[in-house]
Amino acid sequence: MTQACFDTTTTAVQRVARAQEGAATPAAQHVFTQLYADAARAAAQHCDAEAQAGRHLGVLHGVCITLKDNIDVAGETTMAGGVVCAGEAPAVHDAPVVQRLRHAGAVVLGKTTMSEFAFSGVGINPHHGTPVNPADAAHARVPGGSSSGAAVSVALGLAEVGIGTDTGGSIRIPAALCGLVGYKSTQARIPCTGVMELSRTLDTVGSITRSVRACLAVDAVMSQQALPTEAANLRGLRFAVPQTLMMDDVDATVAHAFARTLRHIAEAGAQVVEIPFKALDDIAPLSMPGGFSPIEGYAAHHARLARGAHQIDPRVVARMMLGKGISAQDYLELHNRRKAWIVAAQQTLHGFDAMLCPTVPMVAPLTEPLLKDDEVFFKVNRLLLRNPSAINYMDGCAWSLPCHVAGELPVGLMVSSLAGQDAHLARVALGLENLIYSLHA
């Protein structure tokens, strides 16, 4: 039993009209940095006219999508959730991923809010406001970041796909906190050309949707390398559950949902094996003195910091300044240490079909305490990034699948593997999604 991939019950024009009406409601406040109202209607009309004529534009024919604010659209200055970029030269071309999405028939609704320069897992933005997580009607909770608006645009039903980026979990974190599916591929699968850089070593483009199959359809377009769409039989698969780091400080809701999900996976005939993964404790010390994101982020944005640091989120400035003054020797040593670490990770995970852990160790935190207190913000940010960023460090591939039940705040199950294992992991994710969906339907 699987969920439908995309809506086929309404026309593209109807979907765009519904999305634009929804974007004007209080629930969608701060989701978009800009809406392409006229362009989206025109694209939808073209899709419907082609369908009437019996022509199919591609696998995303008429599918409404949103773009994270750090992705180039021709004729516009790419702002990446900030204001300091105002006045910079506009993009000459759509980013390659945008070109491919449009060519496959996608209708672009607009650009979505994000943590400035993609440098936070929380999703707070002091310039454009912070989208409210739709999972809790009673309390204002963060959506997760940095692809905050991308996730909320899907969670609210405005778009079927939110295109985001993932440097240390920026797709999987908001997917987990908003109860959606997020996919981070091996980095080399999808071009990052035309996407404002945070860390060229770690940046990845991906999507947030409501199903694994929808993510796979989008990935096939953006990567031009289709992955399998046949679900793996879980019986006999071997899953590693690391006991190092990734289960630390897990809150009660996440712990309960994760344990319940592991029990169901084992009952389906898979082997669930708890393993030590000592190398996970080594990532932080190996990343000294700055880590790739501060060093490469400072290199990418140093001119903006020099001319307008006062216009940039102070929390982003503080993290980027950690990369100032790092020597070429220290930077190259970071790469050498990472390469050796990846070899150790490959040895640890050899013989397993995937690694399982909570995507993040907590449900969506309340927004107000994070706005008020830097210490609380940075503590929560570190915890949100901790598990997913380990997969970026190994250049792995990973999914976040919702594994909560009705009445619980969303909890994500992260299903991950090594670099280049995207095809096998896609089949595993489909199998796990089928299991979870059948249990909760």
Residue where the block lists tokens 């070899």: 343
Structure tokens at 277: 């993964």
Compute the chain's Rg from CA coordinates. 20
Which of 291, 249, 238 has its CA nearest to residue 415?
238
Q: What pLDDT digit, counting tens, does each position of 323-365 carry? A: 999 999 999 999 999 999 999 999 999 999 999 999 999 999 9
Q: What is the pLDDT of residue 2?
A: 37
Distance of alpha carbon 355 from the chain centroid:
18
User: What is the distance between the alpha carbons of residues 353 and 243, in angstroms, rounded to a whole number?
Assistant: 17
For residue range 39-98, list pLDDT tens digits in order: 999 999 999 999 999 999 999 999 999 999 999 999 999 999 999 999 999 999 999 999
Q: What is the structure's pLDDT at 289?
A: 81
pLDDT at 4 over 70: no
Res. 9: pLDDT tops 80: yes
What stretches of 53-155 show up as alpha helix (H) in DSSP? Answer: 96-103, 148-155
Distance CA 419, CA 431 (A): 20
| Active site members | 68, 146, 170
Is pLDDT above 50 for 3?
no
**Pairwise CA distance, residues 186 & 417, whole Å:** 9
**pLDDT tens track for 240-298:** 999 999 999 999 999 999 999 999 999 999 999 999 999 999 999 999 887 999 999 99
- pLDDT tens across 187-237, in order? 999 999 999 999 999 999 999 999 999 999 999 999 999 999 999 999 999
pLDDT in tens, 378-426: 999 999 999 999 999 999 999 999 999 999 999 999 999 999 999 999 9
Within 10 Å of residue 195's Cβ, how many Cβ atoms? 25
> Rounded to the nearest 10 degrees, what angle do helices 252-267 and 422-440 cross at?
100
Distance between CA 175 and CA 192 in Å, rounded? 21
The pLDDT of residue 441 is 63
Query: Whole-angstrom Cα distance, residue 145 to residue 254?
Result: 18
C-alpha to C-alpha distances, 428 to 140, 242, 402, 416, nearest whole angstrom = 34, 18, 15, 10
> What are the pLDDT digits (tens) for 175-190?
999 999 999 999 999 9
**Mean pLDDT (whole number) for 300-309:** 98
Q: Which tokens go with 426?
A: 């896609």
Q: What is the DSSP letter of 162?
A: E
Task: List, for residues 114-166, the tens digit of each pLDDT value.
Answer: 999 999 999 999 999 999 999 999 999 999 999 999 999 999 999 999 999 99
How crowded is residue 114: how many other Cβ atoms within 10 Å of its Cβ?
Answer: 32
Q: Report the pLDDT value the prediction gives residue 290, as an integer from 0 to 100.
A: 79
- Which residues, 6 or more positions from 38, have their beta carbon under 8 angstroms from its beta carbon? none
